[in-house]
Amino acid sequence: MSQHHNLIGGDWTPSASGQTFESRNPARTSDVIGVFPQSDAADVDAAVQAARAAFKTWSTMPAPARGDILRRAGDLLTERKDELARAMTREMGKPFFETKGDVQEAIDTAYYAASETRRMFGHTVPSELPNKFNMTIRRPLGVVGVITAWNFPVAVPSWNLLPGLAAGCTFVFKPSEEAPHSGELFVRILLEAGVPEGVINLVQGAGAAGAAIAEHPSVDAISFTGSSETGAKIGETCGRMLKRYLAEMGGKNPIIAMDDANLDLVVEGVLWGAFGTTGQRCTATSRLIVHESIHDEVVDRLKAKAGALRLGYGNDDATEMGPVINQKAIDKIASYIAIGKQEGATVALGGHRADGPGLKDGYFWQPTIFTNVKAGMRIEQEEIFGPVLSVIKVSSYDEAIAVANGVKYGLSSSIYTNDIRLAYRAMHELEAGITYINAPTIGAEAHMPFGGVKATGNGHREGGWEVFEFYTETKTVYVDYSGGLQRAQIDNEA
């Protein structure tokens, strides 16, 4: 069984307390991946000191030189893509073809962030006074704590660490306790690419380690990916301590299928959206809002396709859907099956733990479809985070939009229609950070802003050019070359 350590200022060290935890394969629970440090405030403090010490040198390095390191990271991720994806599948369960996609997102992000180091634009703006020059420049934000979920164990850290490195920040990174090995492998690649000692510090552990990062006075900002419940707690700390805070949280993402939609596309899209990553994506399609005239046909076709999905260990080539992450997830899904039945919904497919050949030693759940779901039911409102789709029948576009918007979350959304008028209305009317037209709720691209509204986000965006707004501070600069004192708003009074 391999022993793993934290990375503090370039040294791999055990936790100060000596406490550890295990990471296990969710498809084969007897397979222990390794033992990791269970960190606490003492480890976090050492990591923050190291990140603070490294900040001056890293933040003053020319940004394009930082970009060269990121480009090397992209090259190494490309070389190691299969090896890394195999390890990620073993640790968090999604099939190999999906973990390869996860690594590809990190590769795209590395090259994109590297290219941004030659932009990092400020503005030059006319002054209201003569012989005066106004501009803005960007300064690196500082020491940032990155706390992540396990479901995209390389892509999500990459969305934060890579643009943040480009911007000149240094980091304390805490991966999820469900994917510590994947987090470590990613950090090792960044080190090999040339990220200097202390610039990225890795602290393994559970929620207490995350809380200690948020509470540390020398951490300037937190970027968090996880549940809305945890995100709200960290938000309270950041609010009290006046820290900048990026939060990417839960979802209850709808696909609307209108009566004029291409049914083949709808069925393929819902299948991928709802059961890809075993429904454990923040952007998973957990609600299908379908026009009554196509409801029965769509449900029949979905049942046939979802019922035929091959469950198994994601590193076996035949596997189409992997396990859920742990026993807690199994218990949560089971409780929502009971809630749904109690509320009067019908289990049209699945509804049970899957325990066929090769599945007994893992956390497998059958692809599950609820029909007769009404807006407002808990299974329609709350994030289950598993392979469970709720189907809601509607009779008009307006009703579909009202149902789609009637939840507290607002991450991703989709409409299938061939009516261009409805497509454009939906772009504006769906309350979500992301809307897809004739595509499912998943499929983010690295160079586009990513994030949610309502209880999913707090106004910032990962990805694309907007993430640099988070990782930098704007400095406004006035240069007066008039040779005299010019008083704004006084000397230029109308």
Q: Single out the residue of 280, 331, 296 nearest to residue 288, CA to CA.
A: 296
Both tokens of 258, joined, read 């209108």
CB of 370 to ligand NAD, least distance (A): 19
Active site (annotated) includes residue 282: yes
Q: Does 367 bind ligand NAD (CB under 6 A)?
A: no
Q: Does 176 bind ligand NAD (CB under 6 A)?
A: yes
Q: What is each CA distance from 367 to 132, 273, 389, in whole angstroms?
A: 65, 12, 8
Binding test (CB under 6 A) with ligand NAD, winner from 226, 322, 386, 387: 226
CB of 377 to ligand NAD, least distance (A): 19
**Which residues are CB-neighbours of 382 under 8 A, at least 6 positions away?**
252, 336
- Identify residues 446-465 at the interface with ligand NAD (CB under 6 A): 452, 456
Answer for the pair 366, 387: CB distance below 8 angstroms, yes or no. yes
Q: Does 114 bind ligand NAD (CB under 6 A)?
A: no
Cβ nearer to ligand NAD, comparing 90 with 281: 281
CB of 340 to ligand NAD, least distance (A): 19
- Identify residues 292-351 at the interface with ligand NAD (CB under 6 A): none
Answer for the pair 492, 140: CB distance below 8 angstroms, yes or no. no
Q: What is each CA distance from 117 to 52, 162, 168, 460, in whole angstroms?
A: 22, 11, 10, 20
Q: List, edge to edge, every strand of the sheet that includes 346-349.
A: 346-349, 368-371, 388-394, 285-291, 253-257, 412-416, 434-437
CB of 185 to ligand NAD, least distance (A): 16
Q: In whole angstroms, give the CA distance from residue 250 to residue 235.
A: 15
Burial class (CB in 10 A: 0-12, 13-18, 19+), 275: buried
- Identify residues 26-55 at the interface with ligand NAD (CB under 6 A): none
CB of 462 to ligand NAD, least distance (A): 7
Give me the residue whose beta carbon is nearest to ligand NAD: 210
Cβ nearer to ligand NAD, comparing 59 with 283: 283
Q: In whole angstroms, give the CA distance from residue 27 to residue 153.
A: 17
- Identify residues 234-273 at the interface with ligand NAD (CB under 6 A): 234, 248-251
Q: Does 210 bind ligand NAD (CB under 6 A)?
A: yes
Answer for the pair 243, 335: CB distance below 8 angstroms, yes or no. no
Rg (CA), the chain: 24
Q: What is each CA distance from 59 to 123, 136, 139, 143, in whole angstroms?
A: 21, 18, 8, 10
Answer for the pair 178, 143: CB distance below 8 angstroms, yes or no. no
Region binding ligand NAD by CB under 6 A among candidate stretches 85-93, 99-107, 141-149, 162-170:
141-149
Binding test (CB under 6 A) with ligand NAD, winner from 41, 120, 135, 206: 206
CB of 136 to ligand NAD, least distance (A): 29
Region binding ligand NAD by CB under 6 A among candidate stretches 150-158, 187-195, 341-349, 435-443:
150-158
Q: Does 211 bind ligand NAD (CB under 6 A)?
A: yes
Token pair 């990220």 is found at 195
Which residue type, as a one-letter code, is found at position 317?
Answer: D
Binding test (CB under 6 A) with ligand NAD, winner from 207, 358, 443, 449: 207
Q: Does 225 bind ligand NAD (CB under 6 A)?
A: yes
Binding test (CB under 6 A) with ligand NAD, winner from 48, 77, 199, 214: 214
Binding test (CB under 6 A) with ligand NAD, winner from 36, 55, 96, 150: 150
- In the set 255, 267, 282, 442, the catalytic residue is 282
Q: In whole angstroms, give the CA distance from residue 406 to residue 411.
A: 13
Q: Does 282 bind ligand NAD (CB under 6 A)?
A: yes
**Which residues are CB-neighbours of 463 under 8 A, at least 6 positions away?**
109, 159, 444, 445, 446, 447, 448, 449, 450, 451
Binding test (CB under 6 A) with ligand NAD, winner from 39, 89, 151, 286: 151
Q: Does 411 bind ligand NAD (CB under 6 A)?
A: yes
Q: Does 156 bind ligand NAD (CB under 6 A)?
A: yes
The secondary structure of 296-311 as a DSSP string is HHHHHHHHHHHHT--B
Cβ nearer to ligand NAD, comparing 207 with 443: 207
Chain residues in the site for ligand NAD (CB under 6 A): 147-152, 156, 174, 176-177, 206-207, 210-211, 214, 225-227, 230, 233-234, 248-251, 282, 383, 385, 411, 452, 456
The residues assigned a catalytic role are 282
